């Protein structure tokens, strides 16, 4: 418990900016708190109402399983928890935690006292809050620089291209303006007349129209052919984006024409180019936003594969890649559903994704796991066709059909809320093998489009039906032990000449995912992401903190090795279709791993083995 505190070091910046009276006021407001080793001082779920200043000992700032920073005497932390969230906020965002690395003591500066001093002493306020803002800017710059580094070799084909809009040379200025209006375009390409224009192509922009008609007073009936600008600036679709940037800068233009095999395929705008160079994920988002049919979404979906390759190649961590890919995938699913579904269906349903997609952990395009929850009493006669089209298009985007048929095209996964509640009741109270699988998949569900409250109500119902039934949770947790995790034959398994491939998903990733899922379900937790579940379980005392930290680290390493094994495969379709999918077989060949990866793989599998033993003991799976 905090107690009144003397011994505050007012000589350390920025507290040295305070006057004697302000120092006395702060000393009177200070508390001091003592923390035993490994205590979580501040976590993402706790409200923050004070700034922490370390008095004695050290505090680790952890993000996921990693130590992001260490704070010693005189260092302060917790300002983000006070001011990073809307409305003054409460709690740490994401997966950040502050943990006592040893027995330590911290001064606590109450929010009210801090804000009063900042208002009374602007120099102090600017120093302490400005320091926080700079740290946030530094973090944002780090993320931006990582992705920028990955995109220095980005190609024009990775950018959003505006479809070419052609008019004939004989068309009038009014015709050109009308074509731009109807197609929401800012320019038209003008096919030059044979002879006079030599059959070439010119361009006329919205700015040109303004100048010609408004400033020069030309009649809107004048033909565009003689007024267009010829000698277009063109680049091939496989040219570097930086070449496009140089060309635009050199000629002071805002767009260039892009060709492929000599034919015009689109226009690259300056804003779209800069979007790619600052954040490649943004351009895929633009492609999705501008999509007018499933073919546009298919191209955006294929671009994600290249995004994964480029980010991974520059050392971007797998958790960051997973966050981006999850967001982009969900945007694509949402847009596809919006293109296919009438407004009344959107308003009366909730499109959900499940499994790894629902957990936000899907890096590679594995099989589909999706469903649709309908509002009770709502009927859409055309629903079977819409659902079938949705599934078919996702297959075309590179998402294979689900072997278990867990897709919106299956009526069992497209039903009213009451139907889902009935299914959940049966899965909980009549738990055969199929029911256990369906329950596990649905427990990971996340909303993508439509009315998210429908999924929230279904999940609330699920958690309300759970009871302290040891038999149920024993059966639910049992799949954790379904697959062998090699550990006793490491000497031969990891010897280069005799190494056999290991299914990394079955041997390592799935036991962590499902074991953690079983523990989270037992605690009636609503989190879906595996790392978030681990951290919450540690905070609740359901997992030993060391085991939790090791599990997060192992899960990250295994996911990284799995991704690396897929990305590093030889190109099987070299010279083939752009955006080729990454092969999915989950096999990792230890003899192809570097020594560090091989050692980490071995250690991770040993930890998974220990975790499985923990799960077996906890849920009495060996009884």
**What is the structure's pLDDT at 95?**
56
pLDDT of the residue at 373: 98
Beta bridge partners of 166: 189
Q: How far apart are CA 298 and CA 285, in angstroms?
A: 13
pLDDT bin (cut points 50, 70, 90) of residue 594 is confident
- What SS3 class is residue 180? helix
More confident site: 359 or 149 = 359
**3-state DSSP assignment of residue 53:** strand
**pLDDT at res. 273:** 77
The pLDDT of residue 30: 93
Q: Which helix (H) or strand (E) holds 154?
A: none
Q: Which of 506, 507, 536 has the alpha carbon at shortest distance from 521?
A: 536
For the segment 297-307, the average pLDDT, to the nearest whole number, is 82
Least-confidence region, from 27-36, 75-84, 359-368: 75-84
Cβ atoms of 572 and 555 within 8 Å: the answer is no
Q: What is the pLDDT of residues 2-17, one digit of tens each?
A: 444 557 888 888 888 9
- For 252-382, where are the alpha helices, taking DSSP H only? 270-278, 280-290, 294-313, 318-340, 343-347, 355-359
Q: What percentage of residues in the chain have a pLDDT greater than 90?
A: 43
What is the per-residue pLDDT across 305-361, written as a single tens digit (0 to 9) for each? 777 876 776 667 787 788 878 888 898 999 999 999 999 999 999 999 999 999 988
Task: Pick the most confident of 94-98, 347-351, 397-401, 579-583.
Answer: 347-351
Residue carrying structure tokens 């040295």 = 16
Q: Which domains does the chain have, with CATH numbers?
A: 15-143 (2.60.120.10), 156-277 (3.10.580.10), 280-465 (3.30.460.10), 480-569+581-619 (1.20.120)
Give tens-digit pLDDT for 501-522. 889 999 999 999 999 999 999 9
467 pLDDT above the threshold of 60: yes
Cβ pair 391, 409 in contact under 8 A: yes
Q: How wide is the angle at C-alpha 580 spanned by C-alphas 576 and 586, nearest 5°?
A: 130
Burial letters for 39-62: b for 16+ Cβ neighbours within 10 Å, e otherwise? Answer: ebbbbbebebebbbbbbebbbbbb
């Amino acid at each position: 418990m905090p107690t009144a505190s003397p011994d505050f070091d007012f000589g350390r910046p920025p507290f040295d900016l305070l006057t004697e009276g302000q120092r006395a006021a702060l000393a009177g407001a200070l508390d001091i708190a003592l923390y035993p080793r490994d205590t979580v001082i501040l976590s993402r779920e706790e409200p923050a109402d004070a700034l922490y200043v370390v008095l004695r000992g050290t505090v680790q700032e952890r993000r996921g399983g990693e130590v992001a920073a260490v704070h010693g005497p005189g260092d302060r932390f917790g300002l983000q928890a006070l001011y990073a969230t809307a409305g003054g906020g409460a709690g740490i965002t994401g997966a950040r935690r502050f943990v006592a690395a040893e027995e330590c003591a911290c001064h606590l500066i109450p929010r009210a006292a801090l804000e009063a001093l900042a208002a009374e002493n602007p120099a102090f306020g600017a120093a302490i809050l400005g320091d926080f803002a700079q740290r946030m800017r530094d973090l944002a710059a780090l993320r931006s620089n990582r992705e920028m580094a990955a995109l220095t070799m980005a190609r024009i084909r990775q950018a959003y291209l505006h479809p070419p809009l052609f008019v004939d040379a004989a068309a009038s200025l009014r015709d050109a303006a009308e074509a731009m209006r109807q197609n929401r375009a800012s320019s038209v390409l003008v096919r030059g007349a044979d002879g006079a224009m030599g059959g070439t192509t010119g361009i006329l922009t919205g700015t040109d129209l303004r100048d010609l008609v408004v400033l020069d007073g030309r009649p809107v009936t004048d033909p565009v052919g003689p007024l267009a600008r010829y000698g277009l600036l063109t680049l091939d679709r496989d040219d570097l984006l930086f070449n496009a940037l140089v060309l635009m800068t050199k000629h002071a233009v805002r767009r260039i024409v892009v060709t492929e095999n000599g034919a015009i395929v689109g226009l690259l705008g300056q804003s779209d180019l800069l979007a790619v160079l600052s954040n490649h994920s943004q351009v895929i988002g633009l492609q999705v936003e501008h999509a007018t049919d499933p073919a546009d979404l298919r191209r955006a979906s294929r671009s994600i594969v290249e995004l994964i390759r480029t980010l991974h190649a520059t050392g971007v961590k797998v958790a960051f890649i997973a966050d981006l890919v999850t967001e982009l995938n969900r945007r694509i699913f949402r847009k596809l559903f919006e293109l296919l579904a009438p407004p009344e269906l959107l308003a009366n349903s909730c499109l959900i994704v499940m499994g790894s997609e629902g957990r936000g952990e899907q890096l590679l395009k594995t099989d589909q796991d999706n469903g649709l929850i309908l509002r009770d009493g709502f009927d859409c006669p055309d629903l079977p066709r819409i659902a079938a089209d949705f599934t078919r298009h996702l297959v075309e985007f590179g998402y294979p059909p689900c072997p278990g048929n867990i897709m919106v095209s299956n009526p069992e996964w497209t039903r009213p809320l009451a139907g889902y509640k009935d299914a959940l009741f049966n899965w909980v109270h009549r738990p055969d093998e199929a029911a256990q699988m369906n329950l596990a998949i649905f427990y990971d569900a996340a909303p993508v489009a439509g009315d998210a409250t429908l999924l929230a109500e279904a999940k609330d119902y699920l958690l309300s039906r759970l009871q302290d039934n040891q038999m149920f949770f024993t059966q639910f947790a049992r799949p954790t032990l379904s697959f062998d995790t090699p550990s006793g034959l490491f000497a031969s398994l990891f010897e280069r000449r005799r190494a056999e491939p290991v299914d990394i998903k079955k041997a390592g990733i799935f036991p962590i995912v499902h074991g953690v899922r079983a523990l989270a379900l037992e605690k009636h937790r609503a989190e879906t992401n595996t790392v978030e579940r681990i951290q919450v379980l540690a905070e609740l005392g359901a997992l030993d903190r060391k085991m939790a930290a090791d599990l997060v680290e192992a899960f990250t390493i295994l996911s990284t090795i799995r991704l690396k094994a897929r990305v590093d495969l030889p190109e099987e379709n070299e010279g083939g279709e752009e955006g080729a999918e990454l092969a999915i077989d989950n096999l990792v060949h230890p003899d192809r791993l570097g020594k560090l990866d091989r050692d980490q793989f071995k250690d991770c599998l040993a930890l998974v083995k220990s975790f499985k033993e923990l799960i077996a003991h906890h849920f009495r799976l060996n009884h």
